[in-house]
Structure 1
Amino acid sequence: MAMLTPAQKPRGLARRIFIGVSHSGRGPAAIGYNGLGRDRIVVQAAKRGQTGRLPGLPATAQGSGCMQVGTPHSVPSPQHGQAAVRDPVAWRLAELPAGTDLAAAEAFCRAVARRHYENFTVATRLVPPRLRQHLANVYAFARWADDLGDESASSAEAGAALAAWREELDACFADRPRHPVLVALAATIREAGLDRQPFADLIDAFEQDQKQTRYATRDELQGYCHRSADPVGRIVLALEGCRDPRLVSMSDSICTGLQLVNFWQDIRRDRLAGRVYLPLDDMTRHGVDEAMLDAPSASPALRRLVADEVEWARRCFAEGAPLAAAAPAVLQPAIEMFIGGGRAVADAIERAGFDTLARRPTVGRWAKTRLAARAWWRSRVAGGGRA
């Protein structure tokens, strides 16, 4: 089941699933060292007629045992008013350390997870310590890919950056990892015998975000979820050697459900970002057009549509719920928490009268605390007192 899952950003996998229970916004602001985000800093300096050096590790990583950046990459000042040209793969030149130190790479992944996902530590406390670094490595891979797409200045630039990230993934599976995230992930892949396909599917989804902003049918939207959300659950199950097709199908249902409730929770935010995830045929059936999404509050027709979509998400949770008892025991508490969290979001949308335009429905702090406490206690029982 997914332990991972995107701010006014195309949805990537990673934040969406990991954040499924306790995400109160759309993600913290990108820090300086996050793929193309940092190149933007350099280019802004170049536009002021300066020569820039790419920043090093994020503030949370400094002093945490993470590797330092190797040879700096300079961006020349533009001449005669010519705009600076951003190199969408500049991070490949700047980030590679002189040596590939696994401990430093793993520390870097933990720093990425802590920096970008405030509840990462809470979530990983529900699994045994031997899995926590693996989860951080998987999260860092997905988060980095997500940022490469989201922090780009254009779809073309995002496409180039994601293509470069795919090359890094290929190098990782060829046992030639170069980027610190892939150095750490390579160890996880070797130890757990992970397949390449789920990671490639995630990159496919981030690339799809750059090209597609509308979905004609539920099947089409579910296809996107299959690439953007479901792979994370598959990876997490595989970390425990679980590849049973029946259990994988349950995991897919849970991950898709988490993605869907976040779509319905964030209709206004997505609309402002130029995205509509409500299936167009469902909109037509309920008499809803896109202009209604710009209103200060939801019309009766839109409320009925959202109620219908929330019911779809709830069916996904119901289909996946048996996984909480059928998955490897060490994963069951976390699975239970994420199912409960997704259902809590659905309930919050219902309490708002299925109007997510007037106010974004969220799960209250105490409700989240109860979910986490219940799952934490179950993890102790399952682990014989292990926290």
Structure 2
Amino acid sequence: MGGGTTVPRGPEATPDPVGERLREAEAAENFPVAMRVLPARHRRRLRAVYDVVRVIDDIGDESRGDEGAGSPDSRVAALEDLRSDLHRPFPTTAVLRRLALTAPDLPLEPLDRLIDANVQDQRVAEYDTWQSLLHYCTLSADPIGRLVLAIFEVPEDPALLVDSDRVCTALQLLEHLQDVSEDRGRGRIYLPAEDRAAFGVSPTDLDAAVASPALRDLVRHETARAVELLDAGSAITGRLRGWARLAVGGYVSGGRAAADALRRVDGEVLGRAEEAAHSRKRDVLRHLPAVLLSRRTTPRSPTR
């Protein structure tokens, strides 16, 4: 699935000190809810991809672990070093060696896009328009879905990829809304400037202890837009079969749980309320049966 180059097979990885932190980070994510019941082969492949994605994000994020320390230029250099290693016949980075051993058939192009997204994070702190934010998501979010489909060896289909991209973009947008305060602390704003202006929200409003009425209105607005994308893309579950359907259904359910959390706090995503705005695993499980039982539909196209 995806571009022509594939992850090369390399020697088996030796244990590395990053592994324990990766497992701790994985435990906090929603996707293991569905992953636990998958066959071991699929779990290994998903985990190998997850570890690479997490390390890419760590390097690009100054607040996550030692890999992200330093200036934007040094982080860009580290990301490009990782990209070079990704394309070597025998990678030297532990997580890349594991990926090469566990999933040598996966395309590299989605991982290149994820690296591009993190490079862009070093140079772009906010987005002027909704469309520019969606374009960023084509780098930071959509590749995940394409890797997941490749893991389950789902045949390429243009309509399927469109739905996958919609779901992944929606998940990214909902995560940004849950992390408004955290992202602001890193110097990043993922609420488009044109929308902030329309709702009367200034950057300093994001530094407050509680969300202003205007910010809460904006969060509700952006949540509705993300849910529209999620609803449109959720038709993908009706086009998949077997374990792929379960895995992707887990992601869709995670998105629905994230939307539930944002609605539960009624747009209050700052201060102490920020933790309450995050998803609960029981909500993911609550949505999963309905998502898996949904039939193939053709919802109206969202604004994207």
State TM-score, norm by structure 1.
0.64
Matches of residues 20-169 of structure 1 in structure 2 within 5 Å? 101-102=11-12, 104=14, 113-118=22-27, 122-150=33-61, 151-169=68-86
8 Å Cα contact 1:189-1:195 kept in structure 2: no
Q: Distance in 2 between matches of 1:304 and 1:115?
A: 34
Q: Does 2:190 correspond to 1:277? A: yes
- Provide the secondary structure at the position in 2 that maps to 1:325: helix
Identify the match of residue 134 of structure 2 among 201, 222, 242.
Answer: 222
Larger Rg: 1
Partner amino acid for 1:315?
E
Query: Aligned-pair distance for 1:189?
Result: 4.7
State yes or no: 1:187 paired with 2:101. yes
Q: CA deviation at 1:122?
A: 4.0
Give the partner amino acid of 1:140.
Answer: D
Task: String of CA shifts for 1:210-250, please: whole Å, max 9, x gaps.
Answer: 11111001111111111111101101101223221111111
Q: Which amino acid aligns with 2:204?
A: A
What displacement does 1:368 show?
A: 4.2
Q: In structure 2, what is the Cα distance between the partners aligned to 1:247 and 1:347?
A: 25
Alignment correspondent of 2:90: 176
User: What is the percentage of aligned positions where both structures have the same residue?
Assistant: 37
Q: Which letter does structure 1 place at the counterpart of 2:92?
A: R
Q: Is 1:343 equivalent to 2:256 in the alignment? A: yes
CA positional deviation for 1:196: 2.0
Q: 1:199 aligns with which of 111, 131, 136?
A: 111
Match of 1:367 in 2: 283
CA RMSD of aligned residues (A): 2.6
> Which 5+ residue runs of structure 1 have no aligned equivalent?
1-99, 379-387
Instruction: Deviation per CA, 1:100-133: give whole Å up to 9, x if none.
Output: 642647x989756423311575442243222111
Residues 130 and 110 (structure 1), Cα distance of their counterparts in 2 relative to 1, 3 Å cut: farther
| CA shift in 2, pair 1:112/1:187, >3 Å | farther
**Could you tell me how far 1:365 is from its partner in structure 2?**
5.2
User: What secondary structure is seen at the aligned counterpart in 2 of 1:187?
Assistant: helix
8 Å CA contact 1:109, 1:136 repeated in 2: no
Bigger Cα displacement from structure 2, 233-242 vs 199-208: 233-242
Say if 1:179 and 1:274 are closer, same or farther in 2 by CA, change over 3 A.
closer
Matches of 2:216 and 2:192, distance apart in 1:
14
The 2-side partners of 1:197 and 1:354 are apart by: 36
Q: Secondary structure at the match of 1:102?
A: coil
Secondary structure in structure 1 of the residue aligned to 2:101: helix
Structure 2 CA distance, aligned partners of 1:269 and 1:146?
15
User: In proportion to residue count, which structure has more helix?
Assistant: 2
Name the residue aligned to 2:300: none
Q: Aligned equivalents of 2:270 and 2:14: distance in 1?
A: 44
